[in-house]
Amino acid sequence: MDANSSTINRFKAQVNKFSGIISKELNKVQSRLVKELVYGIQASKDIKISSVSRSLQESIPLAKTEDRICRNLAAKDISSDINAQILRLGSSKVTKDMVITIDPGDITKPYAKAMENLCNVYDGSKGATAIGYHLCQVTAANLEHNTIVPLYCEVFSDKEADYKTATKKVISIIEHLHQSIGSNGVWAIDRMGDCNEIVDCFLDNGLDFVTRLKLNRWLIVHNKNGGEVPVKTANLEKHMKLNFRAQITKIDNGKEKLLNLKFGIKKVQLQNDPKQWLNVLFIKGYGAKPMILLTNLEPDKDNTAQVFRILEIYLTRWKCEECYRYLKQSYKLEDIRVRSYNGIRNMAAIVHAIAYFISIYIGISLKLKVLVQKIFILSKRFFGVSSFFHYAMADGIFELLSKTHTGIQQSEAKEKPNAQLTLFEDFF
């Protein structure tokens, strides 16, 4: 017997259990689809249907398996059901001190022509317009960066019938999550955050937030005489004191770099939307240009730690973005090859559910600690496993399941006890 057989069987049992939880509101066919994809994507480390079909190792022809998965993926959009279950599970893990990052991204498909509802997107990695789909992911993390909770992931297109604007879509997602999370956590957003509508959404719902401002944004500040004057954010330093100092370590191209920061905080108003006075944090030394953060948090202006916490909250957003990169790199999210819009939305939601499965469901479970440790060993890391252990888990699970000769359906059948024992079963 293979030394890993008990670990394989235990992992498959957890996949079965988790898949049943997130598909509890779905019918039998849809539940089977979710289970096969949650298992198959991890077993193949690939999102292509052909790779998933091979990993299921069914006794029927491979083309039949592939046709069934494609047909069921396209039949109905179940992404909202999957997201609802992940949000239900994850919302209880979000505490008051956590950072909730909303990350508008994209899936680029530069060579696709037949995929449904393709639209123009902004490719942040290339800084140019591309063809593909919009993607919005929401993740929570603590400031220590040792707990990451995937909460929501949706693919959408501006070709949808009821689509309005990307900003309104992001606002609807914030309000949707607010119903489950409440006022817990501090929201952090970069791209699209310098927008009056999104700032108003946070304020109207009573949510704490930190967002980055553009250098050409105009603000209203108090001058030395107490009057209100408009100031461009790039010139804000002239109207405030950078009386705080801090040192942080930044990882740049795999090397540690020590940065000396100067920062200060000041009350401001948004010129085009003077609803209330907010705080702006002006930071020099992190990059070639100053970093300017807008927040409704009210720290003690004389307490360096409380003021610096605003910067820590924003920098935690980058740790959350690692979860987005993990989905793209470990499971080749941008290599999705299904034509139907339903299939694309469903696949993205299921891959995000896998991130929750690894992060929380088995990642922090004390009962599954031995299982996780064995998966880490199979990941074959030279220098141990980093705090963001998802890449190691993906590699370890792939190595583990490469040693099995059955898929998820066969393992489930083996778990069911026989209803009746007989000495003459060969005759029946």
* Mean pLDDT for the stretch of residues 202-214: 93
Residue 342 corresponds to which tokens in the numbers above? 């339903």
DSSP per-residue codes, 118-136: -EEEEETTTTEEEEEEEEE
Contacts of residue 408, Cβ cutoff 8 Å, sequence gap at least 6 = 12, 15, 16, 35, 36, 39, 40, 56
pLDDT at 382 over 60: no
pLDDT reported for residue 253: 63
* Mean pLDDT for the stretch of residues 274-295: 88
Taking only the tens place, the pLDDT of each residue in 304-331 is 889 999 999 998 887 767 777 777 788 8
The fraction of the chain above a pLDDT of 90, given in percent, is 48
Give dist(CA 24, CA 380) in Å, integer.
Answer: 35
The fraction of the chain above a pLDDT of 70, given in percent, is 86
Where are the domain boundaries for CATH 3.90.350.10 in the chain?
80-327
| Residue 31: Cβ-neighbour burial (10 angstroms; 0-12, 13-18, 19+) | middle
Give dist(CA 59, CA 57) in Å, integer.
Answer: 7
pLDDT reported for residue 363: 62
Task: Grade residue 296 by pLDDT with cuts at 50, 70 and 90.
Answer: very high
Task: Grade residue 421 by pLDDT with cuts at 50, 70 and 90.
Answer: very low
Taking only the tens place, the pLDDT of each residue in 329-380 is 888 888 888 989 999 999 999 999 998 998 888 765 544 555 556 555 555 5
pLDDT reported for residue 385: 42
Taking only the tens place, the pLDDT of each residue in 22-62 is 999 999 999 999 999 999 999 998 999 999 999 999 999 99
Yes or no: say if 290 and 235 are a contact pair by the CB < 8 Å rule: no
Q: How far is CA 63 from CA 49, 52, 134, in A?
A: 10, 12, 31
Q: Where are the beta strands (DSSP E) in 109-178?
A: 119-123, 128-141, 148-156
pLDDT at 418 over 60: no
pLDDT at 224 over 70: yes
Lowest mean pLDDT among 11-20, 80-89, 203-212, 409-418: 409-418
pLDDT reported for residue 32: 96
Residue with more model confidence, 95 or 287: 95
Contacts of residue 231, Cβ cutoff 8 Å, sequence gap at least 6 = 218, 219, 220, 221, 238, 239
Cβ neighbour number for residue 260 with a 10 Å cutoff: 11
pLDDT reported for residue 365: 53
pLDDT reported for residue 383: 43
Task: Grade residue 401 by pLDDT with cuts at 50, 70 and 90.
Answer: confident
Task: Grade residue 422 by pLDDT with cuts at 50, 70 and 90.
Answer: very low
Taking only the tens place, the pLDDT of each residue in 99-127 is 999 988 889 998 888 899 999 998 877 77
Give dist(CA 94, CA 83) in Å, integer.
Answer: 16
Specify the pTM. Answer: 0.86
* Mean pLDDT for the stretch of residues 56-84: 95
Cβ neighbour number for residue 32 with a 10 Å cutoff: 19
pLDDT reported for residue 317: 82
Residue 199 corresponds to which tokens in the numbers above? 């700032």
CATH number of 80-327: 3.90.350.10
Q: Which of 264, 299, 277 is nearest to 222 (CA)?
A: 277
Chain mean pLDDT for the chain:
84
pLDDT reported for residue 425: 37
Task: Grade residue 180 by pLDDT with cuts at 50, 70 and 90.
Answer: very high
* Mean pLDDT for the stretch of residues 225-234: 86
Residue with more model confidence, 3 or 131: 131
* H/E run at residue 248: strand 244-252
Cβ neighbour number for residue 245 with a 10 Å cutoff: 12
Lowest mean pLDDT among 193-207, 255-269, 402-416: 402-416
Q: What is the 3-state secondary structure (H, E, C) of 186-225?
A: EEEECCCCCCHHHHHHHHHCCCEEEEECCCCCEEEEECCC
Q: Which of 277, 250, 265, 267 is nearest to 305 (CA)?
A: 265
pLDDT at 420 over 80: no
* Mean pLDDT for the stretch of residues 257-263: 85
Contacts of residue 392, Cβ cutoff 8 Å, sequence gap at least 6 = 375, 376, 379, 381, 385, 386
Residue with more model confidence, 98 or 331: 98
pLDDT reported for residue 44: 92
